[in-house]
C-alpha cells in the first residue's frame, strides 16, 4: 500500500482545545491536556479504503500562548491543511484569530478550516458571528466538541478532502 506524507497545522489562542482536537482526531478519544509548550507533533494515519492508500499526516499542534509565537514562525510553512481554532465559550479567543493571520498568510486559503470547539458547553459566540468571520476569511467553519466527539466525522472528512486535493495536484506530497 503506498504511503503519502502530509502536514496538518493547528493554530488558535491558548486553551481553545487544539491539543484535544488533535488527540480526538488521532486516537478517537478525549484526552485532557496541559498547556502545550511551543509545539507538539504527532502522526495521524488515514487509511483510504477506496483507493488503497495510506496518508500519514504530521500534525503540528501549536502552543497558543503568546510567548511562543516568535519561534513558531517557520513551523507553519508547507502546511497542506490548516485548522484555525476558537472556543465557543470565549469571545476573546474568537477575536484572537486575527493575531494568527501574519503567521499563516502564506498558506493558501483553500487549505484553511475554521473550527469552533467546545460545542458541548453553552457558548458566547453567535452562529451569525462565526459565519460572518468565515465569510470574511473565505473559508468553511464547523462547530465541534473534542470532549464529546460531536461533528468529528465531518471535520475529518473536510480535512481529508483538502489533503486529497493537494495529493491530486501533486502538491508537496511524497510517496
Q: By CB under 5 A, is residue 117 in contact with Mg ion?
A: no
H-run or E-run covering 112:
strand 112-117
Q: By CB under 5 A, is residue 166 in contact with Mg ion?
A: no
Pick the binder of ligand GTP from 5, 26, 33, 58 (CB under 6 A). 33
> Which is closer to Mg ion, CB of 19 or CB of 89?
19
Q: By CB under 6 A, is residue 93 in contact with ligand GTP?
A: no
Q: By CB under 6 A, is residue 147 in contact with ligand GTP?
A: yes
In DSSP notation, 48-73 reads ETTTTEEEEEEEEEE--SGGGGGGGG
Q: By CB under 5 A, is residue 36 in contact with Mg ion?
A: yes
Give the residue carrying C-alpha cell 511562543.
68
Least distance to ligand GTP, CB of residue 160, Å: 21
Pick the binder of Mg ion from 6, 8, 13, 19 (CB under 5 A). 19
For the beta sheet containing 39-48, the strands, ordered from the edge strand earlier in sequence to the opposite edge, are 39-48, 53-62, 3-12, 81-87, 112-117, 141-143
Q: By CB under 6 A, is residue 101 in contact with ligand GTP?
A: no
Q: How far apart are CA 118 and CA 116, in angstroms?
A: 7
Amino acid at each position: 500500500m503506498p504511503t503519502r506524507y502530509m502536514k496538518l497545522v493547528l493554530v488558535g489562542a491558548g486553551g481553545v482545545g487544539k491539543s484535544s482536537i488533535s488527540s480526538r482526531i488521532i486516537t478517537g478519544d478525549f484526552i485532557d491536556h496541559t498547556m502545550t509548550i511551543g509545539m507538539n507533533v504527532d502522526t495521524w494515519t488515514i487509511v483510504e479504503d477506496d483507493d488503497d492508500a495510506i496518508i500519514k499526516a504530521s500534525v503540528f499542534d501549536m502552543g497558543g500562548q503568546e510567548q511562543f509565537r516568535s519561534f513558531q514562525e517557520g513551523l507553519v510553512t508547507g502546511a497542506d491543511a490548516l485548522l484555525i481554532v476558537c472556543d465557543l465559550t470565549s469571545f476573546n479567543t474568537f477575536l484572537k484569530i486575527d493575531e494568527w493571520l501574519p503567521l499563516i498568510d502564506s498558506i493558501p486559503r483553500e487549505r484553511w478550516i475554521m473550527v469552533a470547539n467546545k460545542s458541548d458547553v453553552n457558548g458566547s459566540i453567535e452562529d451569525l458571528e462565526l459565519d460572518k468571520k468565515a465569510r470574511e476569511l473565505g473559508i468553511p467553519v464547523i462547530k465541534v466538541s473534542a470532549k464529546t466527539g460531536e461533528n468529528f466525522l465531518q471535520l475529518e472528512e473536510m480535512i481529508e478532502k483538502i489533503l486529497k486535493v493537494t495529493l491530486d495536484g501533486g502538491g508537496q506530497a511524497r510517496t
